[in-house]
């Protein structure tokens, strides 16, 4: 779990016993260096923007499902190689690692995801995806970059270009990674298992961002400490006894048992978990049956569980098992339900000292009003795997909402289409520009950057 082995980033540690004057001088020097640190100049961003935008459109039109990001990875690799990075492909499946060495100094990692989602795009954008692909179960599914990973990749390549063309502004080793299979929670671990931090240098700090729909484009959001949630995915199979729909007394209906189970599961968060604790239990799908007049043999359902505390996580998983077994027993099921834990990930913990340090950097680069403190979100992410390997990190939010539309939505008490929606359409301009400027500023700061 995160939280128990939090390594603090050395620079911003408070020194006990330091005199008030020394502290003041230290803060003043920090403020002065922050003012000098302007991140990427708008000229630098302008120079890389057209290519970054073209890449965005190309990736958006050609999305690939988790762990199948072969074209995506090779597009990224080719561009980074052209910029002079030492690029290794196929790290943990389709993962990409690009290293740029620039003298002595720390190693800093910037990560993007590569994958898209099985969602049918309905944005009506001229560059909307029309791609279909076979999923891992062999079904034909539409594919869309509905989480904005295309924007993350385009920003990373824009940033890579600026960093490669401004080596006098930083020193150390820049490590860019393209991680596969984030949406299915697995790509980060695959990369670690394939030697990400042994075959390549282990970073002393890591950075990632995610575009969001509830922050206006042009702004970024920082959440010190806990950023998101622990996630657990369960698959539950409830067994019954099939038969004719007209003779339910001769069968044991797994659909009715499943329906009762779903309702009973809703009492975990509302009746069992302490009211102040964060807890979500969602049944995302239920599959059973083929025809109106047939009682099927079994019903399957898929759950996601979100928590922030280890003990709450344990409590909920135990309650799900207890309730599911009890409902099957109550319904006379011929055998115990099968409860499988199919995937899970720990929450992302933003190193507070690093968050504070980089907040100053981002404020200097983007303007004070454009750096917002945001609340922890209920989503999840396998970036936590890198943090658990001992890489203190900042994972920050990139505003993606059209400011006008967001203001209207807020006034009307509604929300804009979120990540994973078929209507998710970030305001690429200026979000992409802000992403590049923010990443460059943060990397230069972490890589002992000087003002240009």
> Is 208 or 364 the residue whose CB approaches Zn ion more closely?
208
In the complex, the smallest distance separating the C-beta of residue 147 from Zn ion, rounded to whole angstroms, is 3
Shortest distance in whole angstroms from residue 210 CB to Zn ion: 6
Name 176's bridge partners.
98, 110
Give the nearer residue to Zn ion in terms of CB position, either 147 or 155.
147
Contact region with Zn ion (CB under 5 A), list: 72-80, 134-142, 144-152, 322-330: 144-152
* Longest Cα–Cα distance in the chain: 86
The residue among 307 and 380 lying less far from Zn ion, judged by its C-beta, is 380
Binding window for Zn ion (CB under 5 A); candidates: 143-151, 247-255, 257-265, 389-397 = 143-151
Contact 280, 378 (CB under 8 A): yes
> CA nearest 371: which of 383, 356, 387?
356
**In this complex, which beta carbon is closest to Zn ion, that of residue 147 or of residue 236?**
147
What's the closest the beta carbon of residue 390 comes to Zn ion, in angstroms?
24
Q: Comparing C-alpha atoms, which of 379, 354, 363, 384 is closest to residue 437? A: 363
Q: Please identify, using beta-carbon distances, which residue of 162 and 185 lies nearer to Zn ion.
A: 185
CB of 398 to Zn ion, least distance (A): 11
Residue with Cβ nearer Zn ion (98 or 231): 231
CB of 295 closer than 8 Å to CB of 248: yes
Q: How far is the CB of 337 from Zn ion (least distance, A)?
A: 29
Whether the Cβ atoms of residue 306 and residue 230 lie closer than 8 Å to each other: yes
Near Zn ion by CB under 5 A, which window of 139-147, 153-161, 290-298, 410-418? 139-147
Query: What is the distance between the alpha carbons of residues 139 and 312, in angstroms, rounded to a whole number?
Result: 36
How far is Cα 448 from Cα 105, in angstroms, rounded to an integer?
A: 7
Which stretch in 80-88, 145-153, 226-234, 247-255 sits in contact with Zn ion by CB under 5 A? Answer: 145-153
Which of the 8 DSSP states describes residue 252? B
Residue 264 interacting with Zn ion (CB under 5 A) = no
**Is 365 among the residues that bind Zn ion (CB under 5 A)?**
no
| Using rule CB under 5 A, residue 147 touches Zn ion | yes
Would you say 204 and 106 are in contact if contact means Cβ atoms under 8 Å apart?
yes
Closest to Zn ion by CB, 221 vs 331, is 221
Query: Which CB sits closer to Zn ion, 147 or 371?
Result: 147
Contacts of 107 (CB under 8 A, 6+ apart): 172, 173, 174, 175, 201, 202, 203, 204
Q: Which is nearer to Zn ion, 327 or 381 (CB)?
A: 381
Could you tell me which residues are beta bridge partners of residue 86? 99
For the bound state, the minimum distance from the C-beta of residue 417 to Zn ion, rounded and expressed in Å, comes to: 13
Among the listed ranges 88-96, 146-154, 216-224, 388-396, the one in contact with Zn ion (CB under 5 A) is 146-154
Integer Cα distance of 246 and 242 in angstroms? 12
Please identify, among the stretches 82-90, 103-111, 140-148, 252-260, the one whose residues bind Zn ion according to the rule CB under 5 A: 140-148
Q: Which two tokens stand for residue 322?
A: 């207890």
Contact indicator for 443, 163 with CB cutoff of 8 Å: yes
- The candidate with the shortest Cα–Cα distance to 113, out of 169, 164, 152, is 152
The secondary structure of 392-421 as a DSSP string is -EEEEEEEEE-HHHHHHHHHHT--PPPTTS
Task: Please identify, among the stretches 137-145, 147-155, 198-206, 285-293, the one whose residues bind Zn ion according to the rule CB under 5 A.
Answer: 147-155
The span from the CA of 222 to the CA of 240, in Å, is 49
Distance CA 332, CA 133 (A): 41
Q: Which helix (H) or strand (E) holds 42?
A: helix 42-61
Which residue's CB comes closest to Zn ion? 147
Minimum distance of Zn ion from residue 395's CB (angstroms): 11
Count interface residues toward Zn ion (CB under 5 A).
1
Which residue's CB is nearer to Zn ion, number 147 or number 323? 147
Q: For the window 93-132, what string marks contact with Zn ion as x by the rule CB under 5 A?
A: ----------------------------------------
Interacting residues with Zn ion (CB under 5 A): 147
């Amino acid at each position: 779990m995160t939280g128990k082995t939090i390594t603090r980033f050395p620079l911003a540690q408070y020194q006990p016993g330091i005199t008030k004057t020394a502290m003041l001088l230290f803060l003043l020097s920090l403020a002065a260096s922050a003012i000098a640190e302007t991140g990427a100049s708008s000229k630098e961003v302008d120079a890389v923007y057209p290519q970054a935008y073209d890449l965005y459109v190309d990736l958006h039109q050609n999305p690939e499902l988790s762990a199948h990001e072969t074209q995506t990875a090779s597009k990224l690799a080719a561009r980074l190689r052209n910029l002079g990075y030492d690029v290794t492909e196929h790290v943990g499946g389709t993962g990409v690692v690009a290293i740029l060495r620039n003298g002595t100094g720390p190693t800093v990692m910037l990560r993007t995801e590569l994958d898209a989602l099985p969602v049918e795009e309905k944005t009506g954008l001229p560059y909307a995806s029309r791609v279909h692909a076979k999923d891992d179960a062999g079904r034909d599914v539409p594919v869309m970059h509905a989480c904005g990973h295309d924007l993350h990749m385009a920003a990373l390549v824009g940033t890579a270009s600026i960093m490669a063309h401004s080596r006098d502004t930083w020193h150390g080793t820049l490590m860019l990674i393209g991680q596969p299979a984030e949406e299915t929670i697995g790509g980060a671990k695959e990369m670690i298992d394939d030697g990400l931090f042994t075959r390549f240098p282990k970073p002393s700090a890591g950075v990632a961002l995610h575009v969001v729909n509830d922050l206006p484009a042009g702004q970024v959001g920082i959440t010190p400490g806990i950023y998101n949630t622990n996630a657990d995915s369960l698959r539950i199979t409830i067994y019954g006894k099939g038969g004719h729909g007209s003779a339910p007394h001769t069968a044991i209906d797994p659909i009715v048992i499943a329906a009762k189970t779903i309702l009973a599961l809703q009492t975990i968060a509302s009746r069992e978990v302490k009211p102040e604790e964060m807890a979500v239990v969602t049944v995302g799908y239920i599959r059973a049956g083929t025809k109106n007049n047939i009682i099927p043999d079994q019903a399957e359902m898929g759950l996601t569980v979100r928590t922030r505390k280890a003990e709450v996580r344990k409590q909920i998983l135990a309650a799900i098992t207890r309730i599911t077994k009890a409902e099957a027993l109550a319904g006379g099921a011929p055998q115990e339900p099968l409860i499988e834990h199919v995937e899970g990930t720990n929450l992302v913990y933003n190193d507070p000292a690093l968050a504070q340090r980089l907040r100053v950097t981002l404020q200097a680069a983007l303007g004070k009003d454009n750096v917002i403190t945001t609340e922890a979100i209920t989503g999840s992410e396998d970036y936590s795997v890198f943090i658990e390997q001992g890489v203190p990190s900042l994972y920050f939010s990139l505003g993606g909402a059209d400011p006008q539309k967001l203001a209207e939505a807020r006034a009307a008490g509604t929300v804009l289409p979120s990540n994973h929606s078929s209507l998710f359409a970030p305001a690429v301009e200026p979000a992409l520009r802000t992403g590049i400027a923010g990443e460059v500023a943060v990397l230069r700061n972490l890589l002992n950057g000087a003002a240009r």
